[in-house]
C-alpha cells in the first residue's frame, strides 16, 4: 500500500496532539505519583535534591508507557474531529476515498506506537523503576543494612492418590525465615516431612545457602526428630549443621521485585519459582499480570481505532470536547480492565481473558462505530 499525500497530511496532523498528550499525561501521572512524595521526603527525611531528581527521571518511563495509549486516543479523536468539523473528511469522501482508507492511517500509526510501547514496557520502564526504588532506599537507609525481604514462606507439596481415585495435595516441607538481609536468613524454622517414616523440625538462629556444596548451612539451632506415631525420637543441638534442602527459598527471597519492576521474561522466571512454592493465589496473580503486560501495548491500536472512528462522525466539536471524551473513554477502559483483572484473579475468568477482554470489547466497539460511519 503506497504512502500517499493524504497519509502524509494525516500523519502531520496526528503527531502534534500525540506528542502533546505524551507530555501532558506523563507529567500529570508522575506529578501525582512521585513528585509530591519526593518533596515530602526532601523536607521530612532530608533526601538530597540531586537524588530526588534522579529518582524522578527514573520513574518517568513508567508513566510514558501509560501515556502512549491515552495520547493515541487523544490524537486520533482530536485530529479526525477537527477534519470532520471543517468538512475535510467530506471532501476526501467526495474524491472517492472511503472512511476505512482514511482511518487506516491512524491504525497504522497506532501499530507503530504499539511497538514503541512494547519496547518501553519491556526493556526500559521495569529496569528504571527498579533502579529508582533502589536509589531511593539506598539514599534513605545509607547507614542501615538493606533489608531485602521479610517473612519468607516456602511450602512444598506432593500429590497423592486416594483409594477412591481423587488426588490430594499434602504438605511435604515448610520453610520459613523471619527476614533476609541480602546474604543470610535469620529466624529459621523448617518442617520436613519428605522422608517416609521420619518427620523433623529444624529451628535455627540463622542460615545461609552454600552454593559450592548445594546445601544449606544452619547456625545455632536444634533439630527435633519425630517418629511416625508422633512420639519423641531425638533432639540434636548444633552450632553448625548442613542440610540438603532445595535452594528455592533463596530464589524466592532474591526475586523480591515488584510486578512493575519485572519485564515479561523475568516475570516468567518468577512464575516458575512461585509454582515450586505452590502458593496458588500468588501464581494466579502473576499469571494475570503477565497477560496484562502483554496486552497493554495493544491498547494503542484499540484507542487509535476508536478515536478515529468517533472523530469521523460528522459533527462540530472543539478540542475541549475531544479531550473530555478521551478522559471518559480512558476511564471506562481502565475501569473495565480493573474489573476483568479482578475476576481473573478470583478464578472467574482465565488470565488470558482477564487481560484481553477489554481489548476485544474496545476493538469490537471501534469496528462497529467505523461501520456505522461508513454507512452514512
Q: pLDDT (tens digit, 9 = 90+) per residue, 207-248?
A: 988 888 888 899 999 988 887 777 766 888 889 988 888 777
Does residue 263 register a pLDDT over 60?
Answer: yes
Label residues 168-179 b or e (16+ Cβ within 10 Å = b): eeeeebbbbbee
Short-list 210, 228, 211, CA closest to 219: 210
pLDDT band at 69 (very low <50, low <70, confident <90, very high): very high
Quick one: angle between helices 319-345 and 299-311, nearest 10?
Answer: 140
Please say whether the dihedral angle defined by the alpha carbons of residues 314, 318, 321 and 323, taken in this order, is positive or negative: positive
Query: What's the rounded Cα separation, in Å, for the pair 201 and 217?
Result: 15
Which residues does 333 contact at the CB level (< 8 Å), separation at least 6? 299, 302, 303, 358, 362
Does residue 356 register a pLDDT over 90?
Answer: yes
Does residue 146 register a pLDDT over 70?
Answer: no
| pLDDT attached to residue 317 | 61
Short-list 299, 353, 263, CA closest to 111: 299
251, 218 contact by CB (below 8 A): no
Q: Which of 7-21, 152-166, 288-302 has the lowest mean pLDDT?
A: 152-166
The per-residue DSSP string of 231-291 comes to: -EEEEEEEEEEEE---SHHHHHHH----GGG--HHHHHHHHHHHHHHT-HHHHHHHHHHHH
Short-list 163, 224, 215, 167, CA closest to 191: 224
pLDDT band at 35 (very low <50, low <70, confident <90, very high): confident
Average pLDDT value for the chain: 84
Q: Which of 58-62, 226-230, 323-327 has the lowest mean pLDDT?
A: 226-230
Short-list 313, 312, 306, CA closest to 358: 306
Cell of 8: 502524509
pLDDT band at 316 (very low <50, low <70, confident <90, very high): low
Q: What is the Cα 28 distance to its own chain's centre? A: 20
15: number of CA atoms within 13 Å, CB side? 7
| pLDDT attached to residue 247 | 75
102-116 pLDDT per residue, tens: 889 999 999 999 999
Q: What is the mean pLDDT of residues 162-166?
A: 78
Provide the β-strand partners of residue 202.
190, 223
Q: Rounded to two decimals, what is the model's pTM? A: 0.72
Cell of 276: 515450586
Position with higher pLDDT, 361 vs 211: 361
| pLDDT attached to residue 148 | 59
Angle at 99 between CA 93 and CA 100, to 5 degrees: 140
291-305 pLDDT per residue, tens: 999 999 999 999 999
Q: What is the mean pLDDT of residues 15-32?
A: 89
| pLDDT attached to residue 1 | 63
Does residue 177 register a pLDDT over 80?
Answer: yes
For residue 31, the SS3 value is: helix
Which residues does 79 contact at the CB level (< 8 Å), separation at least 6? 10, 13, 14, 17, 106, 311
Amino acid at each position: 500500500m503506497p504512502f500517499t499525500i493524504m497519509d502524509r497530511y494525516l500523519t502531520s496532523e496526528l503527531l502534534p496532539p500525540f506528542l502533546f498528550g505524551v507530555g501532558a499525561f506523563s507529567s500529570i501521572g508522575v506529578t501525582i505519583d512521585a513528585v509530591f512524595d519526593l518533596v515530602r521526603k526532601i523536607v521530612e527525611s532530608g533526601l538530597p535534591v540531586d537524588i530526588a531528581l534522579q529518582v524522578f527521571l527514573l520513574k518517568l518511563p513508567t508513566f510514558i508507557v501509560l501515556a502512549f495509549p491515552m495520547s493515541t486516543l487523544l490524537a486520533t479523536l482530536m485530529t479526525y474531529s477537527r477534519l470532520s468539523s471543517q468538512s475535510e473528511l467530506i471532501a476526501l469522501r467526495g474524491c472517492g476515498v472511503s472512511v476505512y482508507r482514511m482511518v487506516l492511517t491512524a491504525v497504522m500509526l497506532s501499530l507503530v506506537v504499539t511497538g514503541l510501547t512494547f519496547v518501553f514496557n519491556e526493556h526500559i520502564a521495569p529496569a528504571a523503576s527498579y533502579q529508582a526504588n533502589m536509589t531511593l532506599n539506598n539514599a534513605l537507609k545509607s547507614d542501615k543494612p538493606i533489608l531485602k525481604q521479610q517473612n519468607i514462606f516456602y511450602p512444598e507439596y506432593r500429590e497423592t492418590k486416594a483409594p477412591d481415585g481423587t488426588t490430594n495435595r499434602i504438605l511435604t516441607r515448610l520453610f520459613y525465615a523471619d527476614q533476609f538481609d541480602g546474604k543470610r536468613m535469620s529466624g529459621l524454622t523448617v518442617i520436613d516431612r519428605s522422608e517416609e517414616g521420619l518427620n523433623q523440625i529444624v529451628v535455627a538462629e540463622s542460615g545461609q545457602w552454600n552454593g559450592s556444596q548445594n546445601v544449606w548451612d544452619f547456625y545455632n539451632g536444634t533439630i527435633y526428630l519425630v517418629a511416625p506415631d508422633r512420639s519423641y525420637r531425638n533432639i540434636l543441638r548444633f552450632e553448625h549443621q548442613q542440610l540438603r534442602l532445595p535452594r528455592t527459598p533463596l530464589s524466592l527471597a532474591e526475586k523480591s521485585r515488584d510486578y512493575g519492576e519485572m519485564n515479561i521474561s523475568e516475570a516468567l522466571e518468577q512464575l516458575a519459582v512461585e509454582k515450586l512454592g505452590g502458593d496458588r493465589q500468588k501464581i494466579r496473580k502473576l499469571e494475570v499480570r503477565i497477560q496484562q503486560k502483554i496486552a497493554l501495548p495493544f491498547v494503542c491500536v484499540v484507542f487509535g481505532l476508536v478515536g478515529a472512528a468517533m472523530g469521523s462522525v460528522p459533527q462540530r466539536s472543539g478540542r475541549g470536547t475531544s479531550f473530555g471524551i478521551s478522559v471518559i473513554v480512558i476511564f471506562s477502559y481502565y475501569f473495565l480492565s480493573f474489573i476483568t483483572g479482578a475476576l481473573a484473579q478470583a478464578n472467574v475468568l482465565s488470565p488470558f481473558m482477564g487481560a484481553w477482554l477489554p481489548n476485544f470489547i474496545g476493538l469490537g466497539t471501534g469496528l462497529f462505530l467505523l461501520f456505522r460511519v461508513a454507512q452514512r
